[in-house]
Structure 1
Amino acid sequence: MSVVSRSVAGSVVAGSVRIPGRYRTPIPRTLLVVAVLVVAAVASLVFGSYQMSPEQVFRLIFQGEGTEIERQLVLNQRLPRMLAALVVGAALGLSGAIFQSVSRNALGSPDIIGFTVGSATGALSVVLIGPLAATGVGMGMGAILGGFVTAAVVMLLAGLGGGATMGQKMVLIGIAVSAMLSSVNDYLITRGDLEKAEAAKTWQHGSLNAISWGQMEVQSVILVIAIPLILMLTRRLRTLELGDDLAAGLGLPVRRSVNLLVAAAVLLVAIAISVAGPIGFLALIAPQLARRFWRTPGTAMWHSALMGAAILVLADFVAARALAPFQIPVGLVTGAIGGLYMLWLLNRQRH
């Protein structure tokens, strides 16, 4: 009997099929990632051109004690930036896990298959040529519309014809769509005035610099509500990982489930982009690191969200402090991390 057959046979208990994936998460590993996240978050609030002690920050946030300068720095600059990195990182990590599972491809992340670029196209259209250019809600609407249109095109083209599997075609078609939309984005930037074009070019790299409550309040609330709801789809995603035929045999509507999961992931990506811009590589590496770190047998859903949040909070701390007083877009830091990860992965596979 093959390994796959034994695995499926071992899932059959008393005439029923037990969905794999019930395993014990190593608590120390989870605590380690949470500890890194907490340390990076506290460091983001404490360190900077105006340094404060953790005790001062605690009293300022929870008791309201502090000077006007400290209130402005911590409550209106550092705190919204740290919280934005937290929720955006979690959203991108979770969306990457969903896309990689649905496409059954480690390269099936939203920034590879074009959904991130499509959301950026929608947001840039609003910023540079739309009537709602000054509002964060307008950017969010544009990003969501652009993301869903791109997803619909890629999914439609991937479902046509034969040959490669749908997951492989999603990646190939997504790369082509991403290249075309990148050209559209560059063209949109040339259409805007100089001030808007410079801001849009920085935003394209993914940036949390100068973020404020008004720029991320609505989107962050949506993400805080959406992420736990989407995590409830974990069982459905794990059933799909058994294969379309077996999942259908278990009574799961395969096509409807795939469309629901893709829609949920696109929503996460679009809202995250409307807050921080298209942050590259995070959705690609967070699910892979989470799966290897926790050694999960299937897609690591909440693990990927936690890993994405930790990586982005840490990366944003580096982006804000590495070249102080100058601040670089956080997307450049995640791009460097992603490049190092890809080199490590290639070297490991070669050996």
Structure 2
Amino acid sequence: MRTSTRFIPRGYWLLTVGRATILVHRRSGIVALLLLLGAVAVAGFTVATGTYQLSADNVLQVFFGGGSQLDQFIVLDQRVPRAIAALLVGAALGASGSIFQSVSRNPLGSPDIVGFTTGAATGGLLVILLAGANSAASIMAGTLIGGLVTAAVVLLFALRRFMSGDRIILAGVAIAAMLAAVNDYLISRASIENAETAKSWQYGSLNAISWGPIIPLVCVVALAIPAALIASRALRIMELGEDTAFGVGVNLKRARLGTMAVGVLLAAIAVATAGPIGFLALAAPQLARKLSGAPGISVAASTTMGAMVLVLADLLAQRLLAPFQIPVGLVTGALGGAYLLWLLTFARSSQSSS
């Protein structure tokens, strides 16, 4: 039996995938598509331009197997992996931020505020400073384990009585503060060489990215982001409040655990690939929500907004002080401060108008 179009809310599309029907906010879908096209265009620009001058013909020749060895090394081994990493890491952080903000029903509910990013950084620092391993695979394993263990600890504290969004944020902020102190202590007790390596990684950077970390990043993002999109219906219901979610038959504890597992995995793989990049997961969902005018946080728009913001931030990191390249985490940190000021101003104007 087909669903009549008169039951489709205004401003939505009804998509049919097999036997399932999905309501898609029209403006959010258009915004997500435009952001995706824009992010890919900016990534293409970073591949085609840079300190090492290459014409458009030279870049095309490299992709078709031509060009000198140096041209192939610059384009295929440096610029392309970096552009792909910027797109996927930004998408992972944007999707992760949308999950945590929907679950907590709080614009501050992002993995870096809640402490999962800090925990992933602790795992990476332990590998670098205590185990003495600097390989990408070792650091990636350490960050993934650190993020997952931190998430488990936060959830254990939040699970007492009932796992509400406020309890998740409070537990996460407390754990993050303690882990940040642990991270600073580890760096202070390390040798100068190891401390410099750890500190540069802790800023969050795509400067030395290669094809090695790209493969696990692609695999995790290819699985986790579709899972986040599938869970978007449950996330929208949770944004309406606990009583409403109970009323429509949503198992809140199971839904929160499942969606947060996806969010933690996305945040951990992002940190494992590029180091802790602050504020992106915090800002991308709110910027996407403001741009799309959606009643709730759109996972698709947040994902593409994260990709767009990070490729732009990485472009600035490459070109602001060229030929010297600064860590992209410093750029997103500066943009994040501006975002918080905007959020404060917007919140005040909304309160005064109401």
Give your verdict on TM over 0.5. Answer: yes
Residue equivalent to 1:52: 54
- Name the amino acid aligned to 1:174: G
- CA distance in structure 1 between the aligned counterparts of 2:101 and 2:319, rounded to whole angstroms: 32
Partner residue, 1:313? 311
Q: Kindly report which structure 2 residues correspond to 1:1-351, keeping only aligned pairs within 5 A, or say none.
A: 22-25=24-27, 29-61=31-63, 63-130=64-131, 133-160=133-160, 166-351=164-349
Question: How far apart, CA to CA, are the structure 1 residues paired with 2:237 and 2:309?
Answer: 28
Matched with 2:352 is none
| 8 A Cα contact 2:38 2:308, kept in partner | yes
After TM superposition, the structure 1 stretch with the greater mean CA deviation from structure 2, 104-113 or 189-198, is 189-198
The one-letter code matched in structure 2 to 1:155 is: L
State the distance in 1 between where 2:317 and 2:222 align. 24
Shift of 1:102: 0.5
Q: Distance in 1 between matches of 2:28 and 2:199?
A: 42
TM-score by length of 1: 0.88
Distance in 1, matches of 2:259 and 2:179, equals 23
Once residues 111 and 21 of structure 1 are traced to their aligned partners in structure 2, the CA distance between those partners, rounded to angstroms, is 30
Deviation of residue 141 (structure 1)?
2.2
Say whether the 8 Å CA contact 2:120–2:147 is kept in structure 1.
yes
Native 8 Å contact 1:21 1:297 kept in 2: no
Q: Secondary structure at the match of 1:111?
A: helix
Counterpart CA distance in 2 for 1:56 and 1:314 is 24
The structural deviation recorded for 1:172 is 2.5
Cα deviation for residue 329 of structure 1 reads 0.5
CA contact (8 A) 1:42 1:54 kept: no
Tell me, in whole angstroms, the C-alpha distance in 2 between the residues paired with 1:26 and 1:170.
28
TM-score computed with the length of structure 2 as normaliser: 0.87
CA drift at 1:192: 3.2
Distance 1:84 1:108, change over 3 A: same
Q: Is the 8 A contact 2:51 2:323 kept in 1?
A: yes
**Which AA in structure 1 matches 2:284?**
A
Which residue of the partner structure matches residue 6 of structure 2?
Answer: none
What RMSD in Å do the two structures reach over aligned CA positions? Answer: 2.2
Number of aligned residue pairs: 330
Deviates more, 1:320-329 or 1:233-242: 233-242
Distance 2:103 2:170 in 1: 15
Once residues 20 and 89 of structure 1 are traced to their aligned partners in structure 2, the CA distance between those partners, rounded to angstroms, is 25
**Equivalent residue of 1:318, what SS?**
helix
Q: Give unpaired runs (5+ residues) of structure 2.
A: 1-8, 10-20, 350-354
Q: Is the 8 A contact 2:88 2:217 kept in 1?
A: no
User: Deviation of residue 296 (structure 1)?
Assistant: 1.3
In structure 2, C-alpha distance between the alignment counterparts of 1:122 and 1:218, rounded to whole Å? 17
Q: Which runs of 5+ in 1 are unaligned?
A: 1-6, 8-18
CA contact 1:20–1:238 (8 Å) conserved in 2: no
Percent identical among aligned pairs is 51
**Which secondary structure state, in structure 2, belongs to the residue aligned with residue 112 of structure 1?**
helix
